[in-house]
Amino acid sequence: TAIVGTSGSGKTTLVKLMLGFYKPVKGEIRIGDFKLDNISPSFWRSNVGAVMQDGFIFSDTIAKNIAISDEIVNSEKLLNAVKTANIQEYIDSLPLGFNTKIGQEGVGLSQGQKQRILIARAVYKNPKFIYFDEATNALDANNEKVIMQNLDEFFKGRTVIVVAHRLSTVKNADQIVVLEKGKIVEKGTHTELTTMKGKYYELVKNQLELGS
């Protein structure tokens, strides 16, 4: 499912509600047949991989930043994660490779490299539920295309929520949800929504890219 809308429409807030960062003031959030309130936070966190706009890079090695959920790094999972996130070539170019230390807030990393480390972290975790909030907005179009193609295979059999503003990222989603002022105003596939010529159509027509 892709979530789109103009700036300030509530996309990130909705994702944070689904992740359990905030409690809803009214109503409830369900995961399948279960209320999110009735699921233990630690169990939910262990089954969720999230790449957020404000994702955190720790003062540690690249390997430990990706494999934060494991005491001992699984090298096979690590290699798969960096290949999927299209960052292996960069890591291989570093003298210390995976043992290179990166600082708090990703010191020494470009914004695009930081995003790819965070994507690799989510892939390494191998979760059932995946949330991407503008996870590729700092990447050039070519890098994003490669990563999204790699992720297509990884996404199979999982529940995936993607917030994005690039049309290329959202148009192939099984369902697109359009937000406006905190409310869902349209739902459907890219083809269905463009045919309706409503809010989604306006976003696509006016911006070619959707509101970030």
Residue-level pLDDT at 7: 86
Residues 196 and 135 in one domain: yes
Highest mean pLDDT among 54-68, 102-116, 162-176: 54-68
Owner of token pair 């099984």: 174
Residue-level pLDDT at 39: 92
Give yes or no for residue 181 having a pLDDT over 50.
Answer: yes
Residues 111 and 181 in one domain: no
Give yes or no for residue 212 having a pLDDT over 50.
Answer: no
52 in a structural domain: no
Residues 131 and 181 in one domain: yes
Mean pLDDT, rounded, for 64-84: 95
Using the 3D structure, point to which of 100, 125, 150 is the last residue of a domain: 125
Angle CA 60–124–112, to nearest 5: 65
Mean pLDDT score of the chain: 90
Range of the domain at 208: 1-47+127-212
> Burial of 208 by CB count in 10 Å (0-12 exposed, 13-18 middle, 19+ buried)?
exposed
Burial letters 121-150, b for 16+ CB under 10 A, else e: bbbbbebebbbbbbbbbbbeeebbbebbeb
Residues 138 and 98 in one domain: no
Residue-level pLDDT at 137: 87
Residues of the chain with pLDDT > 70, as a percent, come to 95
Q: Show Cβ contacts of residue 105 under 8 Å, excluding neighbours closer than 6 positions.
A: 56, 57
Q: Is the full-model pTM beyond 0.85?
A: yes
Q: What is the DSSP string of 123-190?
A: HHH--SEEEEESTTTTS-HHHHHHHHHHHHHHHTTSEEEEE-SBHHHHTT-S-EEEEETTEEEEEE-H
User: What is the domain count for the chain?
Assistant: 2
Residues 114 and 136 in one domain: no
